[in-house]
Amino acid sequence: MSEEKNFGFCPRCGALMHDGVCRSCGYRGGGYTNYSPVQQPKAAPEKKNRKGLILALCIVCAVVLIIGLILAFVFLSSTLTRAARETEVYEEEYDDPYSGDYFDEFGDYDSGYYVPDEDDPYYREITDCTRTDLEYGISWIVDSITPDDDEDYCTYYATYPLLKGGDGAYDSINEEITGKALQYKEAYTDYPGGCSTYGYVTYMDESKISVVFQHDLYEENGTLPRVTAVTFDLESGQEIKPEQMTAVDEELVMRFRAQNETQNGGVEFVENSSDEDLLALLRDPQTGIFFYSPVGLEAGFNYESGEYSSGWVTVTLKDQAL
């Protein structure tokens, strides 16, 4: 049986066709029903590329976010550290005695205001030690003079305590306190800058009171400091004299010298004065300083010296505390 073979060219790729079938691309012509046209590329690869792009963007955003968080943390830590250092430096530079917490030379907590105590090794500074649990109290008086001329710096100022209560029982005591407080008022113009007086109640109980005055006389070349003190027996209304408080003799001078080294670190005027000179200053009512404090009896004197300047010095006699 003869077999007819049909040849031709593929209309799709141009290759030789045999019996309607392309030997190259498989194209079928001439009514073959099992031919399926070539499929167009699907969209799957494009979706895969888009998913990869989105993933890459997410990774980049995550990295940027992490870097931002790290930088923010570093900046915050640096700011806090700098603020802490600035606060530390400020606290070191600004030592406010009234608000800072620190310890004094004895290792005790110091709030900035000295409160005398009987256990103190010595009286540290003249300060008030008033009480409100007694039958009498304290009133504070201010006396001042200010020139009308603003360029005149010669002024006078005094503040001092007076006893209140007792229906006039303290009138004579108050009169003497006032006299001690205002002793420079009449002569304040003798000093170019005037003068000031600050009174303190250094000790008070039911039977005794000590009042101390710190005077500053403002001269042309500096300030002349002076201290005066007075102690009263409240029952009799009489002043208690220094010799009634302690024996003012050679033994006191010896104790004064020894305690001065401990309490004041040595004073040149004291170290270069004879025992006779120191005893004379202690005994003189115009120079001697004697008063009570919660720590003990304070004893000393005012001095004036062209060689060693001028001032005052006292020491604490603890065994004579009230």
- Residue 234, pLDDT score: 96
pLDDT band with cut points at 50, 70 and 90 for residue 167: confident
Q: Cα 25–26–32 angle (5° rounding)? A: 145
Helices (H), ranges, the chain: 44-93, 171-181, 242-245, 250-264, 268-271, 275-283
C-alpha to C-alpha distance for 161 and 64, rounded to whole angstroms: 75
CB 13 within 8 A of CB 24: yes
Who contacts 74 (Cβ-Cβ below 8 Å, separation ≥6)? none
C-alpha to C-alpha distance for 196 and 216, rounded to whole angstroms: 5
C-alpha to C-alpha distance for 322 and 242, rounded to whole angstroms: 14
- Residue 100, pLDDT score: 42
Strand partners, 230: 211
- Residue 68, pLDDT score: 77
CB 108 within 8 A of CB 116: no
The token pair that represents 33 in the structure block: 């029903």
Strand partners, 238: 233
Whole-angstrom CA distances from 64 to 51, 53, 55, 57, 121 are 20, 17, 14, 11, 68
Q: Where in the chain is the domain with CATH 3.30.565.40?
A: 125-320
Per DSSP, the three-state class of 69 is: helix
Who contacts 224 (Cβ-Cβ below 8 Å, separation ≥6)? 216, 217, 304, 310
- Residue 101, pLDDT score: 42
The token pair that represents 30 in the structure block: 């001439």
The DSSP secondary-structure symbol of 190 reads G
In terms of Cα–Cα distance, which of 201, 156, 167, 198 is closest to 181? 198
- Residue 266, pLDDT score: 82
Q: How many CB atoms lie within 10 A of CB 295?
A: 22
| Residue 287 predicted with pLDDT over 80 | yes
The DSSP secondary-structure symbol of 23 reads T
Residue type, 262: T
Overall average pLDDT of the 32-51 stretch: 46
Topology of domain 125-320 in CATH is Heat Shock Protein 90 (3.30.565)
In terms of Cα–Cα distance, which of 192, 215, 198, 115 is closest to 160? 198
| Residue 67 predicted with pLDDT over 90 | no
Which is higher by pLDDT, 50 or 250? 250
pLDDT band with cut points at 50, 70 and 90 for residue 79: low
Question: Averaging pLDDT over each range in 49-58, 87-96, 109-118, 150-159, which range is the top one?
Answer: 150-159
- Tracing tokens 């690869």 back to the chain, one arrives at 45
Model confidence pLDDT, tens digit, residues 102-143: 455 555 555 578 999 999 999 999 999 999 999 999 999 999
| Residue 263 predicted with pLDDT over 80 | yes
Q: Cα 169–171–175 angle (5° rounding)? A: 150
Overall average pLDDT of the 225-233 stretch: 98
C-alpha to C-alpha distance for 226 and 287, rounded to whole angstroms: 9
Residue type, 131: R
C-alpha to C-alpha distance for 275 and 252, rounded to whole angstroms: 10
Which is higher by pLDDT, 29 or 99? 29
- Residue 305, pLDDT score: 87
The chain-wide mean pLDDT, for the chain, equals: 82
Q: Are strands 288-292 and 297-304 parallel, antiparallel or unpaired?
A: antiparallel
Q: How many CB atoms lie within 10 A of CB 20?
A: 16
Which is higher by pLDDT, 20 or 135? 135
Overall average pLDDT of the 157-186 stretch: 96
